[in-house]
Amino acid sequence: WSAVGPMASSAALSLLRQTVKAGLQSGTVMMIGDAVAQTFVGTEAYAPGRSARFALVGCTLHGPYFFMCFRHLDRFFGPAVNLRTVLTKTAVAQVAVFPVYIVALFAYLGLLDGTPSIADNVA
């Protein structure tokens, strides 16, 4: 129960479930994608730890971050029912959502890999 009653608790629980679901879906896709990339593109032996790191990033960053960001974009701009709304939401996402994610992604992967700086992970 929250200060405003059981409905707020139900809404918060629903949001939590949706966020966890987005994280689990993203983590699964990122893990499988990395395993496929290592198998068909890589020249070294398969590294399950790398796939596990991608799964962790998907579960804890990618899925929840994009779920919440696009939820806020939808609330602010409404449904994408016409070209103007689609282009506006796309532009805002490209300028405000994706750059933050890219920095967070490289920092997170660098942290998990033990790389001391983002620049070392990008270069």
Residues written for the chain? 123
Q: What is the pLDDT of residue 121?
A: 57
pLDDT band at 3 (very low <50, low <70, confident <90, very high): low
Domain residue spans in the chain?
6-122
For 110, residues 6+ apart whose C-beta sits below 8 A from its C-beta are 116, 117, 118, 120, 121
Which residues pair with residue 2 across a beta bridge?
Answer: 5
Residue 78 three-state SS: coil
Residue 43 three-state SS: coil
Q: What is the pTM of this model?
A: 0.83
